[in-house]
Structure 1
Amino acid sequence: MSALGCNIHGTAIVLGTTGFLITGPSGSGKSALALSCLSEVRRRGRFAALVADDRVDLTLENDRIVARCPASIRGLIEVRGSGIAEIETISACILDWAIMPVRSPFNPRLPPESDELQLEIGRSLPLLRVPVESLVSPLDALRALLPEKLVL
């Protein structure tokens, strides 16, 4: 990618009208968190779509961070332990937030205030840490953390 773009390890989704970049090391639950949120939002009759899983192309356009999927993996998502699945996708989205899946025990218990994910394109996204494998569904956690911004 050019100086105005980069390719990163992550997953990009849209829930309603909000774009999320799910980040974290391999095996942290990015794809599972994405599938959980996509399925739950769709069950509620709302719009939700995958943009990219595993690799995400990022560019700056009109001062917004745009996510796209590399052509070689378009429409594919990993179901860890089961294989690669085909899923309906959209071609691009504007990213509003970054999500990092976290597992218990949570250390630190509370994230730093104004936590951000620094991106290689010279910008950052506000970062939310969302519990996975807990009694709270990832979507319920997101709705609690973003009550005014995530209307589903």
Structure 2
Amino acid sequence: MKISTKGRYGLTIMMELATRFGDGPTSLKSIAEKHGLSEHYLEQLVAPLRNAGLVKSIRGAYGGYILSKAPEELTAGDVIRVLEGPISPVDFTEEDDPAKRDLWVRIRDSIANVLDSTTLSDLISYKDEGSKDSYMFYI
């Protein structure tokens, strides 16, 4: 499964709204400008998020979008499923070889577990502590 720009930019929108949660509505224009994205494309992405009840729109001069729930209550899986559809690495049927089918099911379930256990709050509070495989250069 490859996450398209729909899923990636959708997470960007949701992370921005999570960062500003409780501060009032956020315009798509401000998100687009901050991340160098097309406002028109973000408008297309926010519609299904609104229809799914993940965001609310606020009309008016100071309008925009807000999360429908706290960032701790919304997961990356919620966003990806709305914008990308069901999570599955491949289409498989009951007629497939049982060993391969089991592999696909385990991969699907592992991906779903990671997405469903990662909240928007986790994403916005993530700090890269570096990995043990990274190099430190001194000049």
TM-score normalized by the length of structure 1: 0.28
Higher helix share: 2
In terms of fraction of residues, the more strand-rich structure is: 1
Q: Provide the TM-score with structure 2 as the length reference.
A: 0.29
